[in-house]
């Protein structure tokens, strides 16, 4: 394999172009690193922002991560759960965020060195039993894909294909199942950094495994091609994944649905404001026209409940706890968006957003306790400790119940999406040692800083009786159904 002659020239040109912006880039990275350290407690980003530099013929690791059906991205399994050749027990060290997203990375036996093209190289020859061939057959019939990484850049490919399948009738007797034993790696470089990776299969070298004979031999091989990508900088190397067909749907932004929802909310708000203003204007006009001795007549319309609007609710503990938990989650969402917009979260760092979200939730726990305890004290609540505990658990308890069920199903099926015991223990300790005490501290502070509740209008002694003979379309069930029908929907 030959080294491109322009490598040294590209490297010198890159250094000259980067010289004028070096100070500014370093300053920006330092600020982002400091923010990340203070907000999340994450590792500094300066080293990650610079990227790895390679010399000629320096080896690169190809990391095998997982396999799973293409139509169900949440169902994933370890890469070597299928009987690929040259299995290795050498695992790559995984961060906490990578475990959260279900990564189980293993160093694969593919040997790739920087700037060395490989036309063809045999990886191994392996003889499969009938049981192992059935595993491949099941994976191919369910459109399994695999995921690999080079320099934290993901790449995807299919394990095999089915030929002769009828779309309406499904699998027939005449269908053939083929496995792809050859992988072609296309790696893009800019001076001495890896900026793009891609893996493709060669349909000309597929192997028929339909018969599932015991002792079927398959030769796995690969090839490597290096491509110069001087137009693609290391910091922008994730931009090419925006239009990737393998990109999870959670990464896609449905701008049309967002604009549709935003416009609909604005219209509903405008209509409601116009109606309320017309009602108030008519009432004020009527009051200005009547005599003073006629003002004492029976009130009608919205004024019937003016003495019950600020009446203290019967379940104050639950109401204030929900308000505190909502304020807590709103603060976490805003801080997470700010950190994402300010590029303090590395996009190539797997699970960085989930890690930041968990740590932000624990660190901002005093906000929920403060809002809940302050309002609870204003409306006459006495059991502040019970209120603080309800605030701290009103969101985690339903979340834990759902997580327990989902994680148990994933463990029962051997999926890599199941959260390991160590990660569960870390999250539990973070909640018990950080979030819960901070919630109690915020509740104490909110209780001490609260003042008496001063309603803007008088509250009657006795609550007004709610009529029970309302028509069916004014019942809570009908109103909730109507609200659900009017709510804007998002297309996935």
pLDDT digits (tens, 9 = 90+) for 24-64: 443 444 444 434 433 444 443 444 446 789 999 999 999 99
The answer to whether residues 124 and 86 touch, using CB atoms and an 8 Å cutoff, is: yes
Summarize the confidence of residues 462-488 as an average pLDDT.
Answer: 76
Distance of CA 305 to the CA centre of its chain: 44
Residue 424, token pair as written in the block: 């569960």
CA distance 373 to 390: 11
By the 8 A CB rule, do 11 and 126 touch? no
Token readout for 151 is 């320099």
- What's the confidence (pLDDT) of residue 343? 77
pLDDT at 77: 94
Q: Which residue from 68, 70, 118 is spatially nearest to 413, judged by alpha carbons?
A: 68
Tell me the percentage of the chain whose pLDDT exceeds 90. 48
| Banded model confidence at residue 170, pLDDT cuts 50, 70, 90 | low
Residues 177 and 209 sit within 8 Å (Cβ to Cβ): yes
Angstrom distances, CA of residue 142 to CA of 128, 177, 218: 20, 11, 21
Least confident of 151-155, 209-213, 315-319, 435-439: 209-213
d(CA 336, CA 324): 18
Pairwise CA distance, residues 59 & 151, whole Å:
11
The three-class DSSP label of residue 58 is coil
- Give the residue from 240, 241, 205 showing the smallest Cα distance to 223: 205
Q: What residues have CB less than 8 Å from 116, skipping those under 6 apart?
A: 1, 3, 57, 224, 226
The pLDDT value recorded for residue 286 is 67
Structure confidence at residue 476 (pLDDT): 80
* Of 76, 91, 85, 110, the residue nearest 183 (C-alpha): 110
Residue 298 has pLDDT above 80, yes or no: no
Write down the pLDDT at residue 369: 96
Q: pLDDT class for 405, splitting at 50, 70, 90? A: very high
List the one residue out of 163, 153, 271 whose CA is nearest residue 208. 163
* Average pLDDT in the chain: 81
Mean pLDDT of 367-390: 93
pLDDT higher than threshold 80 for residue 305: no
By the 8 A CB rule, do 220 and 124 touch?
Answer: yes
pLDDT at 168: 57
Contact 134, 118 (CB under 8 A): no
What interhelical angle do 316-341 and 384-393 show, nearest 10? 50
pLDDT digits (tens, 9 = 90+) for 116-165: 999 999 999 989 999 999 999 999 999 999 999 999 899 999 999 998 77
Q: What pLDDT is recorded for position 325? A: 96
Per-residue pLDDT at 334 exceeds 70: yes
pLDDT of residue 48: 44
The alpha-helical segments, DSSP class H, found in 296-383 are 316-341, 352-363, 365-378
Residue 291 pLDDT: 54
Backbone angles phi, psi at 438, to 5 degrees: -70, -35
For 467, the 3-state DSSP assignment is coil
In this model, does residue 88 exceed pLDDT 70? no
| Alpha carbon distance 440, 445 (integer Å) | 9
Q: Where residue 97 falls among pLDDT bands split at 50, 70, 90? A: confident
Residue of higher predicted confidence among 7 and 131: 131
At residue 376, does pLDDT exceed 90?
yes
Confidence of residue 167 (pLDDT cuts 50, 70, 90): low
Q: 176 - beta bridge partners? A: 163
Task: Determine the pLDDT at residue 463.
Answer: 79
Q: Give the range with max mean pLDDT: 2-11, 170-179, 196-205, 385-394.
A: 385-394
As a whole number of angstroms, the distance between CA 205 and CA 368 comes to 60
d(CA 175, CA 162): 7
Q: Is 46 exposed, middle or buried (0-12, 13-18, 19+ CB in 10 A)?
A: middle
Q: Is the pLDDT of residue 245 over 60?
A: no
Of 246-250, 397-401, 433-437, minimum mean pLDDT range? 246-250
Percent of the chain with pLDDT over 70: 79
pLDDT tens, position by position, 281-292: 877 676 666 554
């Amino acid at each position: 394999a030959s080294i491109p002659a322009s490598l040294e020239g590209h490297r010198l040109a890159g250094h000259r172009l980067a010289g004028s912006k070096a100070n500014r880039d370093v300053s920006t990275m330092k600020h982002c690193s400091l923010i990340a350290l203070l907000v999340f407690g994450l590792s500094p980003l300066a080293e990650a922002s610079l990227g790895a530099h390679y010399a000629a013929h320096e080896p690169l690791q190809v990391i095998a991560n997982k396999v799973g059906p293409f139509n169900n991205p949440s169902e994933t399994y370890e890469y070597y759960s299928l009987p690929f050749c040259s299995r290795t027990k050498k695992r790559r060290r995984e961060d906490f965020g990578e475990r959260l997203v279900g990564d189980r990375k293993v160093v694969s036996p593919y040997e790739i060195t920087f700037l060395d093209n490989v036309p063809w190289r045999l990886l191994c020859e392996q003889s499969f039993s009938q049981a192992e061939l059935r595993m491949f057959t099941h994976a191919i019939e369910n459109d399994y894909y695999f995921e690999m990484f080079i320099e934290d850049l993901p790449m995807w490919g299919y394990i095999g294909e089915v030929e002769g399948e009828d779309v309406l009738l499904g699998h027939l007797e005449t269908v053939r199942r083929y496995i792809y034993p050859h992988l072609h790696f296309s790696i893009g470089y800019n001076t001495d950094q890896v900026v793009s990776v891609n893996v493709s299969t060669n349909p000309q070298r597929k192997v028929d495994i339909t018969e599932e004979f015991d002792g079927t031999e398959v030769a796995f091989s690969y090839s490597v091609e290096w491509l110069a990508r001087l137009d693609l900088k290391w910091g922008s190397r994730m931009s090419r994944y925006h239009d990737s067909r393998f990109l999870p749907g959670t990464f896609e932004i449905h701008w049309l649905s967002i604009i549709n929802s935003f416009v609909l909310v604005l219209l509903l708000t405008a209509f409601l404001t116009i109606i309320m203003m017309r009602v108030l204007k008519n009432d004020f006009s009527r009051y200005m026209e009547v005599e003073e001795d006629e003002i004492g007549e029976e009130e009608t319309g919205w004024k019937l409940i003016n003495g019950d609007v600020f009446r203290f609710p019967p379940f104050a503990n639950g109401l204030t706890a929900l308000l505190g938990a909502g304020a807590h989650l709103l603060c976490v969402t805003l801080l997470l968006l700010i950190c994402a917009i300010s590029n303090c979260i590395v996009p190539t760092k797997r699970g960085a957003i989930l890690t930041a979200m968990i740590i932000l939730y624990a660190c901002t726990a005093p906000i929920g306790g403060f809002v809940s305890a302050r309002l609870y004290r204003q409306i006459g609540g006495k059991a502040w400790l019970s209120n603080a505990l309800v605030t701290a658990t009103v969101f985690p308890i339903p979340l834990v119940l759902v997580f327990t069920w989902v994680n148990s199903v994933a463990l029962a099926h051997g999926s890599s999406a199941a959260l390991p015991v160590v990660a569960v223990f870390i999250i539990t300790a973070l909640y018990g040692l950080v979030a819960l005490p901070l919630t109690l501290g915020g509740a104490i502070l909110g209780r001490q800083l609260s003042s008496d509740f001063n309603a803007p209008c008088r509250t009657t002694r006795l609550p007004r009786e709610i009529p029970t003979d309302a028509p069916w379309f004014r019942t809570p069930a009908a109103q909730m159904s109507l609200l659900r029908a009017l709510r804007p929907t998002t297309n996935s």
